[in-house]
Structure 1
Amino acid sequence: MQQRSKQYEEQAAKPAPHVLKFGAELLMDGRNLPRPVNYVLARVTPPKGVEINEKKRPFVVVDPRAGHGPGIGGFKAQSEIGVAFQAGHPCYFIGFLPEPVAGQTIEDISTAEAAFLERVISLHPEADGKPAVIGNCQAGWAVMMVAAKRPELFGPIIVAGSPLSYWAGVRGENPMRYTGGLLGGTWLTALMGDLGAGKFDGAWLVSNFESLNPANTYWTKQYNLYSKIDTEAPRYLEFEKWWGGHILLNAEEMQFIADELFIGNKLATAGIVTSDGESVDLRSIRSPIIVFCSKADNITPPAQALDWILDLYGSVEDIRAHGQTIIYAVHESIGHLGIFVSGSVAKKEHDEFASNIDLVDVLPPGLYEAVMTPKEEASTSDDELVGGNYLVRFEPRTLDDIRALGGNSMEDDLQFAAVARLSEINLGLYRAFMQPWVKAWANAGLAEWMRKMHPLRLPYEMFTPANPFLKGVSSTAEHVRENRQPLSPDNVFWQAQEKMGKAIESSLKAYGDLRDRAVETMFHAVYGSPFLQALAGLKASNAAPRRRPGVDAVYRAFVAHRIEELTKNIAQGGPREAAIRALLYIRMPDGVADERGFRLLERMREDAGGDLTLADFKTMVRDQFFTLLLDERQAIDAIPGMLDADPELTSRMAKTLRKIVEVLGVESQLGKSRLTEITAMFESRKKAEGPKNGSPEKDRFQQVRPTKVSAAAKLHRPH
């Protein structure tokens, strides 16, 4: 712990402290922008032996400003940045300094991040796709806000452990969401910002995380170090280097986060309006969105990560109508930090996302779940088509699948709406009657003293080598190391210690569970009161407390124009467009897409001459998909004419199409009948072309057999 305190002081003395394990080159300093912010853009240097393909889309990792310093996305060699490097992608990092620029706002930060992405795009003019952006935890909602305002800057977006629907959760499981209500709303946020002389101490955010698990905070973490002192110290110090790096936010920034997001929950319903009068509507995002969450995450449970989809869309057809592709992956057991820190997660989920990022970018619009099967269990003979250690399948889902993960009832939403109303009232009362007095005697000296005396900072300050009462610790510790005599696990005192440790841990867990139940019961008793809800104006009508945002006339006109355009061009295109349309037609009843099919589609793209960029290929796939949705029969009847445009290319496309169907198989009866129909179309074109060298090619379409899949991989039929 003395080493931890020394490390803490060294980090605090750095002008730009971070925990990146990779070298980095500063490209842009947000303090030099027209609206300066304390954010920076850096290009991450790949480790030795790693070759980067500059034509691959860059990855940009954005770390959370939620109380800690930056760098957690590149905390280890096996990390989000590490796996992107292994896949050959250039990597960039958006971090921040510990002190905010005076006057900076969340909107200013969004503008800066857009400028950073513009710079990254300009550095890779030949890249096959816009940057893939990863937003960890609190950075997830920030990235989504930027993408809603500047959708043209983004490739696929990965939000890991990111809260987007702040009221959502499951009764008895997610107590953190009740905290704001029991504190009376965000007036306390304003008070702490005023006492901090205009700055909010991020250590208060970290203390909220610490309080969730008292057993780990007050006992298990320390006991784990003590009982494994011979091996645990390096891991402990590495993590504490980040965990103890508390940063500051402007009071205005934190107030926005608390009012608009934590309590107001406005992001999920397009309720945030920027200074230029525009709504931040997540339906404006044009890039695929990958949501990665975990059932064991008590900070951002699956409902908070995913229920924004239920707020914005009435059905999967609604998602498709907006041209959006949304993919989610739910881990069964990893905790919140493990989502973007764990090496095992990096080796599996993040590695597969990085390896298949181009597949994600060309998926047809809709809602999917990413299902990862170990390669040896995937029953595939085409191992060269599987990029990593897992076969990734994107299986279609419906909104009912999101609801099945848990969420709020109408009664729950009414209670959280009452919290939001009461918060506005209390904040108004504070600003009118208390804030002038607090600001009158608050000053920078008091703010600095409060920060130094914060309960999370004191342990770092107390164990510093400068403490005169601990001068002899270093020499004594060295003497103990030299004469270390570990005990056998059979030792009776060791066993007694272990039992006592488990008893203390169990007691603290029981206390935490009892506290959480009491908090939840109190919340529902207070905010479930019909009198309080009526006083807050929620009983004035029978309208839902969370109204789904409407669709404006401009968007309706755009959709009508696109429908007219696609209908008019339904017979346009050649063999390449026809083959993609035919493949989608065959595969739509099964709905699933996986990386093997995409790699074969890439060959189809190359066979057609290689003149098609990934962006153009994505547009082509989506156009053919929407054409089938608009008028399936007319779209299929147009295929023979499209094949006649280039007989030689038709032959190459037919071979690739056969290979794709052979590899992926056809599961449903409808899919098999469609396969027969398409086979006849391609055969008729071959007969019209005539045999080559006197021997017509044997038709292999008819040899396709259904692929066997496990019960867990059975597909939901798309609506």
Structure 2
Amino acid sequence: MSIDLPKLPDSPMSGLIASAVEYLVDAGQRSVLFLDVMRRRGDQYKEHIAQTAPHVLQYAAELIIDGRTLREPVNYALVRIIPPKDVQINSERRPFIVVDPRAGHGPGIGGFKADSEIGVAMKAGHPCYFVGFLPEPMPGQTIERIARAEAIFIEKVISLHPKADGKPCVIGNCQAGWAVMILASLRPELFGPLIIAGAPLAYWAGVHGRYPMRYSGGLLGGSWLTALASDLGAGKFDGAWLVQNFENQNPSNTLWTKQYNVYSKVDTEADRYLEFERWWGGHVNLNAEEIQFIVDELFIGNNLAAGEIEMSDGQRVDLRNIRSPIVVFCSEGDNITPPQQALDWILDCYADVDEIRAYGQTIVYTVHQSVGHLGIFVSGGVAKKEHAELSSNIDLIDVLPPGLYEATFEARADTTASSDLVIGNWVMRCEARTLDDIRAMGGNSAEDERRFAAAKRVSEINLAAYRKFVQPLIKGVMTPQVADIMRNLHPLRLQYELLSSQSPLSSAVKSGAEKVAEDRRPASENNPFLMLQEHISRQIVHTLDSWRDAQEALSETLFLNLYGSPALQAALGIDPRSEPSRRREMSMEHRAMLEKRIAELKSRIGEGGIREAALRGLLYIGSARGMIDERSIEALRRVRRDYSGPRLTLPEFKMLVREQFFMLQLDQEGALAAIPRLLPEDIGQRRAALAAMREVLSAVGEISGERARRLQRVAALFGIDVGEQGDVIASFESKAKAS
């Protein structure tokens, strides 16, 4: 299609007219191309849902276990990711297992792009597996049954890698995060490090003025509405409603920005938009029992962090049972799972860092400053940075001494000390933190806790009333056929169906788009009407955002005042003057086990050899810095690789680190005084051990201040005389400065 524009005489008015004509041609062409993108989106949607196992994984995969064939069948499956030809996998490295979130949309987001959780793990040399699901749940499927199936999946992966240097690292995204945490508390022996990305583990938590999604359960009267939606679905809950909840949190993006970006940049944005919509529109169903468990136990009940979830066999879910390092990845820009909901379970489980250590637990968290909820596990930038560093340094995390740490990332530069020890483009550090660092992010007051407890009680009352008086009537009239019709009429599905090639105007749109593409005439960037279009768009976004902010402020005010009423709380059996605390005391059984372990470690302080002595010295010196750096671990790897004595496996080394760490914690002076008894007579071996320690310590820069003083003390314990000791320290510092 060719368009010939008339030439006008030069004048300000003629220039404006020319710009207007140019813009109108461009806008008309963009409109046709935009409608064609919507048509392609509809066709893509229909093709996607017609597949037996629709997903958006970019990688080829091999089926390992089909959960539908298990004794307790589920609609989950375990697949092995087949690495691309240019990716080398080390079969002896610990495998990674990515568990996708079943939060209304289809599987595959963990391997959505080359720069993804799966992509960066394979790039680091790890075998990768993926746990996804089918659109329809199996009859009788429950959250507990899924947990047992996932345990079978992990056992299978472990059996496939008998020589791996550690148990699998399991990544749980969003709702898969809390599911993985539940399983890890019930079967801790199966897990290596856990990476929990954007997962709500303490759903009540938050701060006033932000994150209003936590109020929705109380404002809707509790989970009776969930039960109603499931009954209208003939025993199935339509996941499109969950996606709709996400959409409602950002109306400017849902109603305008997402589509406008395609319209305004239709020449470049179409493929990216269609790629995302293929996942976002792949809605799946959940059984009524599954969604009721999620809403009652987690979202409204907030029972996970409090240890109040009980399995059918009577076993309680206690997150303190987890023995693997836990990495929590969250973001300030996430209004679905803000940092408080991702981290405040730690405050519910532990009194202080010493109690975290008493449970032998290592918790590492990292807080992104701006990325949104989906960006935590979709964004290529996040995958290249945080996920890549976590994958590359998973062994660092696995051997960290027990405690609480924050992972920070500093860009690698030419001036970075020991840059040859840095694996990627960022230097990862794990810096020691306390519970006060988490409290400083904000959280609930005692008044807030009483409000949420009141909302929980109202939910229980309303659900009981619904089940007694209304549910029998709904179940009596609903059939699977009617439920399917209602699901197909959901607005999120209709928007795809109505604009597909089945639309009467689709053929005209398609042919028109083909003609426009032949003679595309985009307006120039400085076209005043194009600038006006952008200005109007910003105003629309501002209006919708203002409306959202007003709605959120209103919902918060309603929730706080309604459930903060002393009269309502008293009527519900909640003391309006109480100071509720969800934190649990350490059990007598664990305390007895801990006391036995302490006595055992104290009795063994004088046992061991030069390896124990060197590691004890390293931990003592390194603790003065309050952080552990990936360069130190890489230097330690090289020392371990060059060590001529008996080699330790990674689990054995981890156990040795923990034992020496706890010995220093229990009796620092006694543990240091015992070092000479652990050393051999050969001064050459002592010098070699001290040189290895120096190599590790100097990897992060100059050995100075308290670290240098501690190094002097350890050198003396190694039997190096004062004069020689001074020369050793001087050589350490001069080498660090030179590097």
Q: Report if TM-score (shorter chain) is over 0.5.
A: yes
Give 2:526's match in structure 1, choosing from 461, 484, 490.
Answer: 490
1:242 aligns with 2:282: no
Where 1:551 maps in the other structure, the secondary structure is coil
1:657 aligns with 2:693: yes
Q: State the match for 2:206 in structure 1.
A: 169
Residues 364/170 of structure 1: CA separation in 2 closer, same or farther (3 Å cut): same
Matches within 5 A, 1:629-708: 629-644=665-680, 649-665=685-701, 669-684=705-720, 699-705=727-733
Q: Kindly state the Cα deviation for residue 609 of structure 1 after the two structures are TM-superposed.
A: 2.6
Q: State the match for 2:500 in structure 1.
A: 464
Q: State the match for 1:10 in structure 2.
A: 47
Give 1:341's match in structure 2, choosing from 378, 381, 396.
Answer: 378
Give 2:425's match in structure 1, choosing from 376, 383, 389.
Answer: 389
Q: State the match for 2:535 in structure 1.
A: 499
Select between 77-86 and 485-494 the one with higher mean Cα deviation.
Answer: 485-494
Cα distance between partner residues in 2 of 1:197 and 1:649: 74
Q: Which letter maps to 2:590?
A: Y
1:526 aligns with 2:553: no
Where 1:678 maps in the other structure, the secondary structure is helix
Where 2:135 maps in the other structure, the secondary structure is coil
Q: Which letter maps to 1:481?
A: A
Select between 607-616 and 165-174 the one with higher mean Cα deviation.
Answer: 607-616
Q: TM-score, normalised by structure 1?
A: 0.95
Q: Which letter maps to 1:533?
A: Q
1:430 aligns with 2:458: no
Q: State the match for 1:602 in structure 2.
A: 637
1:566 aligns with 2:576: no
Contact 1:199 1:249 in 2 (8 A): yes
Q: State the match for 1:714 in structure 2.
A: none
Residues 78/12 of structure 1: CA separation in 2 closer, same or farther (3 Å cut): same
Contact 1:576 1:650 in 2 (8 A): no
Q: Which letter maps to 1:428?
A: A
Cα distance between partner residues in 1 of 2:655 and 2:246: 43
Residues 460/563 of structure 1: CA separation in 2 closer, same or farther (3 Å cut): same
Q: Kindly state the Cα deviation for residue 399 of structure 1 after the two structures are TM-superposed.
A: 0.6
Q: Which letter maps to 2:674?
A: A
Q: State the match for 2:224 in structure 1.
A: 187
Cα distance between partner residues in 2 of 1:15 and 1:649: 64
1:160 aligns with 2:203: no
Unaligned runs of 5+ in 2: 1-37
Q: Which letter maps to 1:425?
A: I
Give 1:263's match in structure 2, choosing from 294, 300, 324.
Answer: 300
Where 1:268 maps in the other structure, the secondary structure is coil
Q: Kindly state the Cα deviation for residue 479 of structure 1 after the two structures are TM-superposed.
A: 1.2
Give 1:415's match in structure 2, choosing from 451, 464, 469.
Answer: 451
Contact 1:664 1:707 in 2 (8 A): no
Q: Kindly state the Cα deviation for residue 489 of structure 1 after the two structures are TM-superposed.
A: 2.3
Q: CA RMSD in A?
A: 1.9
Q: Kindly state the Cα deviation for residue 603 of structure 1 after the two structures are TM-superposed.
A: 3.0
Contact 1:203 1:246 in 2 (8 A): yes
Cα distance between partner residues in 1 of 2:175 and 2:44: 26
Cα deviation code 1:608-642 (max 9, x no counterpart): 53520000000000000000011111111110110
Cα distance between partner residues in 2 of 1:686 and 1:602: 30
Q: State the match for 1:449 in structure 2.
A: 485
Contact 1:587 1:666 in 2 (8 A): no
Cα distance between partner residues in 2 of 1:217 and 1:497: 19
Cα distance between partner residues in 1 of 2:77 and 2:277: 23
Contact 1:51 1:88 in 2 (8 A): yes
1:107 aligns with 2:135: no
Q: Kindly state the Cα deviation for residue 466 of structure 1 after the two structures are TM-superposed.
A: 1.4
Where 1:618 maps in the other structure, the secondary structure is helix
Select between 484-493 and 179-188 the one with higher mean Cα deviation.
Answer: 484-493
Unaligned runs of 5+ in 1: 688-695, 710-719
Matches within 5 A, 1:529-568: 529-539=565-575, 542-544=578-580, 546-568=581-603
Give 1:365's match in structure 2, choosing from 379, 398, 402.
Answer: 402
Contact 2:606 2:675 in 1 (8 A): yes
Residues 34/595 of structure 1: CA separation in 2 closer, same or farther (3 Å cut): same
Q: State the match for 1:585 in structure 2.
A: 620
Residues 415/706 of structure 1: CA separation in 2 closer, same or farther (3 Å cut): farther
Cα distance between partner residues in 2 of 1:288 and 1:591: 18
Cα deviation code 1:63-94 (max 9, x no counterpart): 10000100000000011111111111100000
Residues 659/335 of structure 1: CA separation in 2 closer, same or farther (3 Å cut): same
Give 1:223's match in structure 2, choosing from 260, 263, 267.
Answer: 260
Cα distance between partner residues in 2 of 1:179 and 1:525: 14
Contact 1:643 1:685 in 2 (8 A): no
Q: Which letter maps to 2:549?
A: D
Give 1:404's match in structure 2, choosing from 408, 433, 440.
Answer: 440
Matches within 5 A, 1:250-289: 250-289=287-326
Contact 1:155 1:288 in 2 (8 A): yes
Cα deviation code 1:92-111 (max 9, x no counterpart): 00000000001010000000
Q: Which letter maps to 1:605?
A: R
Cα distance between partner residues in 2 of 1:707 and 1:272: 56
Cα distance between partner residues in 1 of 2:370 and 2:662: 38
Select between 471-480 and 9-18 the one with higher mean Cα deviation.
Answer: 471-480
Select between 230-239 and 404-413 the one with higher mean Cα deviation.
Answer: 404-413
Q: Which letter maps to 2:201?
A: L
Contact 1:70 1:96 in 2 (8 A): yes
Q: State the match for 1:26 in structure 2.
A: 63
Q: State the match for 1:693 in structure 2.
A: none
Where 1:472 maps in the other structure, the secondary structure is helix
Q: Kindly state the Cα deviation for residue 116 of structure 1 after the two structures are TM-superposed.
A: 0.3
Contact 2:704 2:733 in 1 (8 A): no
Percent identity between matched residues is: 58
Residues 402/608 of structure 1: CA separation in 2 closer, same or farther (3 Å cut): farther
Cα distance between partner residues in 1 of 2:206 and 2:646: 48
Number of equivalenced pairs: 699
Cα distance between partner residues in 1 of 2:637 and 2:343: 31
Cα distance between partner residues in 1 of 2:344 and 2:60: 38
Q: Kindly state the Cα deviation for residue 661 of structure 1 after the two structures are TM-superposed.
A: 2.3
Where 1:376 maps in the other structure, the secondary structure is coil
Q: State the match for 2:32 in structure 1.
A: none
Q: State the match for 1:207 in structure 2.
A: 244
Q: State the match for 1:690 in structure 2.
A: none
Q: TM-score, normalised by structure 2?
A: 0.92
Contact 1:374 1:389 in 2 (8 A): yes
Q: Kindly state the Cα deviation for residue 664 of structure 1 after the two structures are TM-superposed.
A: 3.1
Matches within 5 A, 1:31-70: 31-70=68-107
Q: Which letter maps to 2:613?
A: A
